[in-house]
């Protein structure tokens, strides 16, 4: 299994509070991604990174920010959590080659109450 | 932009029956296509991938998929379903503009004894 660790695995937070999810990899892969999974929507890309300090928005980036100060860590921050951000969040990594698949973490279940 | 459509949010089969999960893609260039499986409370695991080397792709756990350009399809099949195949399956296409996956909405496979 690819070395991807997400933390925390579960979190309950209140509306309006900031939340940071962490993704840590030991594979030295260049690309890292944050997806959210919701019933009926599959997985949707929030943000991605193509190198240290190089990030860009995905299709559902509103309300989220990311940072990547080291190759191995990719942080996802909800500046002010809302109930619509209740979801399961997955981190993924992939290598440089275009044909390579993405490897996924175990997910973080976030509930905003 | 590339996209995939999965037909049927739920598919039910009996143990030992043929499994057929449908995926159609939209792409203006030759696509790279993937099938992932997700077991309950887990991350996504790669089943197989198509990267233009061969139109019939064999994956893990007895699954295979055939790339058909004329039908813009990449359907997933398994000759004989097993109870352990019950999971959610996602088709994905690699965005040619950048190294990121675009997912379908998923198909939940139910296997009955």
> Residue range A67-74: average pLDDT?
96
> Residue range A88-108: average pLDDT?
87
Residue A97 has pLDDT above 90, yes or no: no
Whether the bond into A95 is cis, omega within 30 of 0: no
Residue B76 has a CB neighbour count (10 Å cut-off) of: 24
Cβ atoms of A102 and A2 within 8 Å: the answer is no
Mean pLDDT of chain B: 92
Integer Cα distance of A24 and B1 in angstroms: 30
Counting every residue written for chain B, the total comes to: 113
Residues on B contacting A at a C-beta cutoff of 8 Å: 6, 9, 32, 34, 36, 41-46, 49, 51, 90, 94, 98-106
**Percent of chain B predicted with pLDDT > 90:** 77
Mutate to test the interface with A, among B101, B104, B108 (most CBs of A within 10 A): B101
| pLDDT at residue B2, as a whole number | 84
Residue A98 has pLDDT above 80, yes or no: no
Residue B64 has pLDDT above 80, yes or no: yes
Q: How far is B57 from chain A (nearest CA, A)?
A: 14
Nearest CB neighbour to B103, from listed A31, A42, A105 = A42
Q: Would you place residue A1 in the very low, low, confident or very high pLDDT band (cuts 50, 70, 90)? A: low
3-state secondary structure of A84: helix
Q: Would you place residue A75 in the very low, low, confident or very high pLDDT band (cuts 50, 70, 90)? A: very high
Torsion of CA A96, A100, A101, A104, to 10 degrees: -30
Task: Tell me whether residue A77 is exposed, middle or buried, using C-beta atoms within 10 angstroms of its C-beta: 0 to 12, 13 to 18, 19 or more.
Answer: middle
Q: Residue B105 and residue A40: Cβ atoms within 8 Å? A: yes
Q: Which of A8-12, A65-69, B38-42 has the lowest mean pLDDT?
A: B38-42
Q: Does A58 touch chain B (CB under 8 A)?
A: yes
| pLDDT at residue A95, as a whole number | 83
| pLDDT at residue B101, as a whole number | 85
Cβ atoms of A57 and A65 within 8 Å: the answer is no
| pLDDT at residue B31, as a whole number | 85
Contact residues on chain B for A94, CB-CB shorter than 8 A: 99
| pLDDT at residue B52, as a whole number | 78
3-state secondary structure of A85: helix
> Residue range B47-64: average pLDDT?
91
CB pairs under 8 A between A and B: 57
Q: Burial code of A12-40, b = ≥16 C-beta within 10 A, e = fewer?
A: ebeeeeebebebbbeeebbbbbbbbbeee
């Amino acid at each position: 299994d690819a070395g991807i660790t997400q933390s925390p695995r579960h979190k309950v937070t209140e509306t309006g509070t900031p939340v940071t999810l962490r993704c840590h990899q030991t594979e030295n892969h260049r690309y890292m991604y944050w997806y959210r999974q919701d019933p009926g929507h599959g997985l949707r890309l929030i943000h991605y990174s193509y190198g240290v300090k190089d990030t860009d928005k995905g299709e559902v980036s509103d309300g989220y920010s990311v940072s990547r100060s080291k190759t191995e860590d990719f942080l996802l921050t909800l500046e002010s959590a809302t109930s619509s951000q209740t979801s399961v969040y997955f981190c993924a990594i992939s290598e440089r080659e275009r044909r390579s698949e993405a490897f996924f973490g175990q997910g973080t279940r976030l509930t905003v109450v | 932009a590339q996209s995939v459509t999965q037909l049927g949010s739920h598919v039910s089969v009996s143990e030992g029956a043929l499994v057929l999960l449908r995926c159609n893609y939209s792409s203006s260039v030759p696509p790279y296509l993937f099938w992932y499986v997700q077991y309950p409370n887990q991350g996504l695991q790669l089943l197989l991938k198509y990267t233009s080397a061969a139109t019939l792709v064999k994956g893990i756990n007895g699954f295979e998929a055939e790339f058909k350009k004329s039908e813009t399809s990449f359907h997933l099949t398994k000759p004989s379903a097993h109870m352990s195949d019950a999971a959610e399956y996602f088709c994905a296409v690699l965005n040619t503009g950048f190294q990121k996956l675009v997912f379908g909405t998923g198909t939940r496979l139910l296997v009955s004894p």
